[in-house]
């Protein structure tokens, strides 16, 4: 009888210890990206990390490493694939090299306007695209607004595609971006984001293309004094988590992340809209000439690029689905 009581007491104590350990369990995830800490996407991810901590009551923490501390975008994606990094934020243009389907988001003038882009990315098409990378150990959590990309140049304004002839234009390491600039008459030159300021300054390239906040926060406006808002592509950013990490999470932990991510998307869009206005005002005051060209001239030059994907049934299906969204 005495031994039986001891066994029962020991069992109860051991269960209490296990329970306490479980309650105190703390998970830390690492998120790295290449953005400036003033960037609206970084601010949204800081908010997301804060909400994860609040929702989980301190049981989960996301540590953020900004400014390329753990490497450029491509390196961060590769670290996710091998499970050495938990999360990252990259442009979907960079994802083309890992998940071919993402090329659809880099096609010029794929979205009619911002409202159309939100309907696509927030709907079933967006949900499907976020999961396209799971076979490559990359799971999408959300799309962040990265605005529309436009050309900025050093020596001459771009009023029409003809003005791009003979100009070396920096592009991301994206086949779609290369094809687009080439179709418009420019000479596409892939260069990493961190090396671009020096490349512009040294004349390695004559210009580049990006959204207003990136143009401003990168200080590229100090070198390039012409910004032509032709808005050729609306390439979103994507927040990724390694499937190595995702598969280790409990269902409750996944819920915490999903909730915090959804809330961060709402905030990020508000911050983005404000940052675009602030960026255009700031670069204009710094002496940059902002040009509003006829977008149709650019759209006409690149409209046949989508024909290149007719043989790719899956990708072309996405093109048709996106265009059908009203």
Q: In 136-260, where do the E strands start and end?
A: 138-144, 149-153, 168-171, 187-190, 207-210, 226-233, 237-242
Task: Read off the pTM.
Answer: 0.84
Does the domain at 149-234+283-324 match CATH 3.40.50.720? Answer given as: no
Task: Tell me how far apart the alpha carbons of residues 103 and 121 are, in angstroms, rounded to a whole number.
Answer: 14
Report the distance separating Cα 130 and Cα 292, nearest Å. Answer: 33
Residue 21 confidence (pLDDT): 45
Residue among 243, 313, 237 at smallest CA distance from 271: 237
Q: Could you report the per-residue pLDDT of 123-174, keeping only the tens digit for each? A: 999 999 999 999 999 999 999 999 999 999 999 999 999 999 999 999 988 8
Whether domain 24-146+236-278 has CATH 3.40.190.170: yes
Cβ neighbours of residue 275 under 8 Å, at least 6 residues apart?
39, 40, 212, 213
pLDDT digits (tens, 9 = 90+) for 169-179: 999 888 889 99
Rg (CA), the chain: 23
* Domain layout of the chain by residue ranges: 24-146+236-278, 149-234+283-324
Average of per-residue pLDDT across 206-220 = 95
Q: Is-same-fold flag (24-146+236-278; 149-234+283-324)?
A: yes
pLDDT tens track for 257-307: 999 999 999 999 999 999 999 999 999 999 999 999 999 999 999 988 988
């Amino acid at each position: 009888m005495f031994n039986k009581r001891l066994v029962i007491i020991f069992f109860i104590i051991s269960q209490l210890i296990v329970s306490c350990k479980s309650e105190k369990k703390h998970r830390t995830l690492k998120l790295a990206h290449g953005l400036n800490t003033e960037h609206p996407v970084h601010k949204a991810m800081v908010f997301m990390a804060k909400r994860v901590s609040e929702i989980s009551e301190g049981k989960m923490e996301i540590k953020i490493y900004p400014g390329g501390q753990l490497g450029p975008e491509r390196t961060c994606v590769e670290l996710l694939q091998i499970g050495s990094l938990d999360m990252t934020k990259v442009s979907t243009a960079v994802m083309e090299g890992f998940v071919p389907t993402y090329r659809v988001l880099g096609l010029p003038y794929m979205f009619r306007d911002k409202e159309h882009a939100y309907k696509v990315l927030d709907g079933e098409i967006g949900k499907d695209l976020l999961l396209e990378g799971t076979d490559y150990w990359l799971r999408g959590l959300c799309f962040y607004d990265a605005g529309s990309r436009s050309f900025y140049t050093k020596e001459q304004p771009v009023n029409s595609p003809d003005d791009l002839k003979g100009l070396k234009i920096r592009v991301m390491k994206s086949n779609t971006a290369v094809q687009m600039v080439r179709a418009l008459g420019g000479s596409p030159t892939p260069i990493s984001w961190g090396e671009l300021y020096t490349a512009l300054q040294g004349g390695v390239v004559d210009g580049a293309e990006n959204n207003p906040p990136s143009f401003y926060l990168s200080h590229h406006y100090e070198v390039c004094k012409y910004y032509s808002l032709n808005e050729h592509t609306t390439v979103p950013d994507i927040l990724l988590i390694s499937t190595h990490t995702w598969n280790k999470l409990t269902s409750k932990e996944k819920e915490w992340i999903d909730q915090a991510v959804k809330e961060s998307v709402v905030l990020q869009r508000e911050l983005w809209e404000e940052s675009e206005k602030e960026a255009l005002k700031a670069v204009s005051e710094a002496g940059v000439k902002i040009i509003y060209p006829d977008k149709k001239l650019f759209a006409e030059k690149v409209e046949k690029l989508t024909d290149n994907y007719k043989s790719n049934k899956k990708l072309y299906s996405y093109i048709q689905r996106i265009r059908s969204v009203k």
